[in-house]
Every structure is written in structure tokens, then in C-alpha cells.
Amino acid sequence: MPDTQPRLHLHDSRTRSTVPFVPLDPLNVRVYYCGPTVYDLAHIGNLRAMLTADVLVRLLRHLYPHVTYVRNITDVDDKINARALANSESIAELTARTIRDFHDDLAAVSILPPDVEPRATHHIGEMQDMIHRLIKSGHAYEAEGHVLFAVGTYDSYGALSGRSPDDLIAGARVEVAPYKRDPGDFVLWKPSDDQTPGWDSPWGRGRPGWHIECSAMSHRYLGESFDIHGGGSDLLFPHHENERAQSMCCHPHGRFAAHWVHNAMLLVNGEKMSKSLGNFLTVRDVLRDTPAEALRLLLLRAQYRSVLNFTQAGLDEARQMLDRFYRALEHLPEQPAPLPPPPDGFVSMLCDDLNTPRALAEMHALADAALGGDTLAARQLKAAGNLIGLLHDTPEQWFRGRSTVDAGAIEALIAERLAARKARDFGRADAIRNELAAQGIILEDGPQGTTWRQA
RNA sequence: GGUCUGGUGGCAGAAUGGUGAUGCAGCGGACUGCAAAUCCGCGAAUGUGGGUUCGAUUCCCGCCCAGACCUCCA
């Protein structure tokens, strides 16, 4: 890497500090993110996590020659079993449809696919291998058809989420199964009855616990040590704590994830999203009447570690910001040319723990310059936007793409209005403009004539 | 109850031990037949009580409030 490149600093959840990011192998930066449990449509909270990963990986790809990004799919889970039963459909149908919808929703907001997207059910063997090793090394034990991880065998248990084992026990709100040696012990393998998906194993027919899949799949695709592991902050405990314990005990010479990234939660109108409050918003709900890019921009307006309050007003504002950006892109040079690199000022904001609000402020400055006629700034604006997955449209697509009104009819009315204006019949001219406005079409009289756009 | 975050203009949202970004909204002006867009300008904020300090929004403590986690969760 040339020394002029801004250097990436990332907040690490384990040490609770922002530290320089130093790849284990600069030629292959390795990232693992916890993907969806596929039993329902993705909601905008899921989206925030996937988007944080997307921006991080896009930035890493800008800074380093190669990135391996792995994001799993959890397709074995008791919520899936319950939903399939409720829907009277097979688990295979439910998971296949949900995965398809998930991919569509993410693609709609320009989230790039991971390099590897492993499915839990395709890695049962790897999980069983790990469980076997953990039993052999004394970190796991069998009890009543279950295999449990013994948290007491891992000194550093609790270090990731920053809590002591005592804290964990004190507030436990779920009944502790009697076969656990320690209340904190968690399931690696559990028995399945005839109605429940299961796989044969040395411990009987059963299915994996929640955490072991990520340990098995990250190991398979990224090795004993990799650079970044991420997800929503609600995964920090117990999911990531348990993953880490399993993996570190199974592969004591590795360090598992060198760096932990967790995004903060999303609120809707100031409240946590929940089905009981009825404010549970799927990506699809939002995209029904909002351009996907506005949703993406809204989520990038807050730094990923800040709680973000999702509102319709915020969505509208994001759309207005894009109006201005695209207006600035109208100042791109006529003949297409390769874009310049995004300006260092912009990249260094992203390198400051993904400070997207400040990066967007840089883009506003570029937009100002572009609107003043600076074509280089216009090109830099597009390059900057593209780096974080924005501004892929042309201004024409942005301002007119969603319009359902016939363009020929609009042009005819514009011509008629022009004639009326020449005749100084402003009554007729304004009537035409109002007529179009009623259809959501805004006319703009400029030095080069009249143009139109969708409201 | 335990652990942990956070509280910044009307709203969203950065940063900082020493004149507190940016965007939206608002107000005034330019431009326009009128608009829209654009441009110029303006007003507007560090929850609360202490402490440390020459100086605190920033560091420390109490309080209030909000949120997350405490074995389903992005």
C-alpha cells in the first residue's frame, strides 16, 4: 500500500477502543458476518447490519487488493421449524423462498453479495467435527442427549462482551436446564424428534445449537484466524461470545476474529421495532413507496455505532439530499470518461471507523463545487458515492425513472406552454404547469429551455 | 435487579480540554412573468447538579431520561 493511502481505524468491540486495522494478510483480508436466519422477510434492522458490512467490505476492497467476505445463512433453527409448521409448508420451501427474497431485497439497496454464502445445513459435518474435538479436549460434555459447551473450561469466557460469569448468572431469566454443569453452559448439539429435522451423530439423531455453525463455517472458509467478525450489537452476547469460546477452545493456536465490529440497533419512530408495537418494518414495506437509494442513504446518515431512529421524515430528507446530489451530477462532462479516484478527504472519513456522516459532508462540498460548474468535482462526487454504493443512476434515471406519465405527452404540453408564454398568455402557461403538477410532474424553466422531473 | 451505551439547534446527525461539521426545515435577498432549481446572507444546540482545570459540551462523580444486553434477536 502506498503511504499516501488513508489508514483504516476501526472500533473493536472486544477491547472497546478504536484501533488501527492491521490485516493478518494484506493480500487477503478476511471478513465474516452473521447472516440471516431464513424464516421471514428481512427487516430494516437486518438491513442496517448487512449495509454496515457492505460499506466496510467496499472500503476494504478499495484499500486492499483482495477481500474474502463470508456471510452465512442459518437454515436450521427452531424458528424456521415453527414457521414452516404455521405456514403449512415444507422447511425447504420456506427457506428457499426466504433466501430468494433476502437476496432480492439486498440487491435492491445495492448491497453486494458476499464471496461465500455458506448454509448451515451444508456444514453439519464440520460442526460435528468441532463438537467431537471439543468433547475430546474436555471443553464439552454429553448430557441427556445434548452436547454442551462447558464455559468454565475457557478462562476468557465473557471477555468479548465485557461481563463476568457472575453477572451472567445473576440475571438469568431462563430456567437453567438441570443437566447443565454450569448455568452458562450452552448447547452444541441437541436431540431431534421425528417431526424435527435431524442428522445422525455419535450423540444420537439431532441438530446443531445456534452458535456452532458460525464457528464451523468461518473456520472452513477463513481459517483459525481471520480479520473481522461482525454483526448487530445484539449478537455480541451470547452468540459471538459463545462462538469465540468454541472456536478458541477448538483451535487454541488461532485467535479467531482479530477484530469485532458491531452495529447499533435501529429504532422506528423512537421505539424499538417489535411485532407487538406494530412498527416492524420490512425492507419491502419501505421500498414500496421510497426509492431504494433513499433508504440506503438514510441508514448511512448515522455512524454505524450510533442508534439510528428511522422515520418517514428522515426518509424524505434522504431523498432530498439525493435530489441535490443528482442535480450536481448533471454537471458531469458530456463524454463519458473513467472516474477519478474518490478524494482522499472522503476516503479518510470512511477510514475513521466508517464515519459515513462526515463522508457525506465531504460529498456535499463536492456537490457545491459541481453545481458551481466544477466538472472534476462532479466526477469525484460520483466516484465517492459509488464507493459507498450510492449515485449509480444517471440524473435522468433519478429524476424521471419512477414517473409513470408518458414522456411524449409531457413534451407536447411543454411545447404548448412555451407557445403560450411567448404570447404572454401566462394564465394558460400556469394552467399547464398546474395540470402536470397534479400528475406529479414539476417543470423547470432554465436558460436551455424547460425540463421536467418527477416530484 | 445486574452489565453496558448514549442525551448536542425545530429535526436528523458529526466533532472537540480553548472561535461546536454537515443536511433538512425556517427567515431575508438575488434570479424568474410567476415558480422550480441555483446562488448570497441570517437566526438557532452540548439533559441536570457537583468536582478537576486558567478554561469542561469533552475528563471524574451523583441524579434524571432514553436505549441495548442478561442464553430467540441485525
Q: Among residues A358, A377, A400, which one ends one of the domains?
A: A400
Nucleotide nearest to A365 (CA to C1'): B22
∠ CA(A428), CA(A429), CA(A435), 5° rounding?
85
pLDDT band at A325 (very low <50, low <70, confident <90, very high): very high
Nucleotide nearest to A230 (CA to C1'): B74
Residue A423 has pLDDT above 60, yes or no: yes
Q: Among residues A213, A245, A267, which one ends one of the domains?
A: A267
**A214: annotated binding-site residue?**
yes
Residues A87-113: tens digit of each pLDDT: 999 999 999 999 999 999 999 999 999
Residue A167 has pLDDT above 80, yes or no: no
Which of the nucleotides in strand B have any atom less than 7 Å away from a protein CB atom?
1-6, 11-15, 21-25, 32-39, 67-74
- Claim to verify: residue A213 and residue A362 sit in the same structural domain: no
**A243: annotated binding-site residue?**
yes
Please state the rounded mean pLDDT for residues A264-277: 79
In the prediction, which pLDDT does A174 show? 53
Q: Kindly state the cell numbers that stand for A188.
A: 452444541
> Residues A212, A225: contact at Cβ < 8 Å?
no
CA atoms A260, A261, A267, A270: torsion sign = positive
Q: CA gyration radius for chain A?
A: 26
Residue A327 belongs to what domain range? 311-400
Residues A174-214: tens digit of each pLDDT: 556 778 888 888 999 999 988 899 999 999 999 999 899 99
CATH code of residue A316: 1.20.120.640
A414 phi and psi angles, rounded to 5 deg? -65, -40
Q: How far is the C-alpha of A344 from the C-alpha of A368, rounded, in Å? A: 17
Give percent above pLDDT 70 in chain A: 96
Q: Is residue A289 part of a domain?
A: no
Structural domains of chain A, count:
3
Note the pTM of the prediction, 2 decimals: 0.95
Q: Is residue A413 part of a domain?
A: yes
Higher pLDDT, A127 or A158: A127
Mean confidence (pLDDT) of chain A = 91
Nucleotide nearest to A421 (CA to C1'): B33
Note the CA–C1' distance, A163 to B4, in angstroms: 9
Q: Is residue A305 part of a domain?
A: no
Q: Kindly report each contact of residues A307-316 with a partner whose C-beta sits within 8 Å and lies 24 or more positions away, as own/partner.
A: A307/A264, A307/A265, A307/A266, A307/A267, A308/A48, A308/A264, A308/A266, A308/A267, A309/A266, A309/A267, A309/A268, A309/A269, A309/A270, A310/A44, A310/A266, A310/A267, A310/A268, A310/A269, A310/A281, A311/A268, A311/A269, A315/A286, A315/A290
Q: Is residue A290 part of a domain?
A: no
> Residues A150, A140: contact at Cβ < 8 Å?
yes
Note the CA–C1' distance, A272 to B68, in angstroms: 10
**A239: annotated binding-site residue?**
yes
Q: What is the ipTM of this complex?
A: 0.92
pLDDT band at A46 (very low <50, low <70, confident <90, very high): very high
Note the CA–C1' distance, A346 to B16, in angstroms: 20
Please state the rounded mean pLDDT for residues A286-311: 94
**A249: annotated binding-site residue?**
no
Note the CA–C1' distance, A337 to B36, in angstroms: 31
In the prediction, which pLDDT does A166 show? 67
Residue nearest to nucleotide B35 (CA to C1'): A444
Residue A52 has pLDDT above 90, yes or no: yes
- Claim to verify: residue A102 and residue A187 sit in the same structural domain: yes
Note the CA–C1' distance, A188 to B50, in angstroms: 51
Residue nearest to nucleotide B70 (CA to C1'): A171
Residue A329 burial by Cβ neighbours in a 10 Å radius (0-12, 13-18, 19+): buried
